[in-house]
A = this chain, B = another copy of it.
Amino acid sequence: MTSDADRAQTLLKDLRASIDNLDAILVHTLAERFRCTQTVGRLKAEHNLPPADPAREAQQIARLERLADESGLNPEFAKKFMRFIVDEVIHHHEQFQK
């Protein structure tokens, strides 16, 4: 007979396999996102546009909050996540402008 602890271990293993697949999606999506923002960075550097764009960032944050709400992601976490990504992007753009 399968014990509760065994069933929990099987379920844990299945969940971790899903998490690993989702992480592969996240890494590849982030890689593609940075490819886009690096092209944006090059464009901005070529046309002497400022690296940060507060109006665009405000729009992105508002949209992300809506998407987070729809998908059941904590909107505070979604904002923190966007800040984390945008900080990295600005760091890339600043390197282009040097």
Contact = CB atoms under 8 A, between A and B. Distances in A.
Contacts of A78: 27, 30
Contact of A22 (B8, B22, B32, B68): B32
B43 A12 contact: yes
Contacts of A68: 27, 31
Interface string A72-93: 1110011001101000100000
A26 B23 CA distance: 10
B26 A26 contact: yes
A28 B67 contact: yes
Interface string A1-23: 00011001001100110111011
B15 A64 contact: no
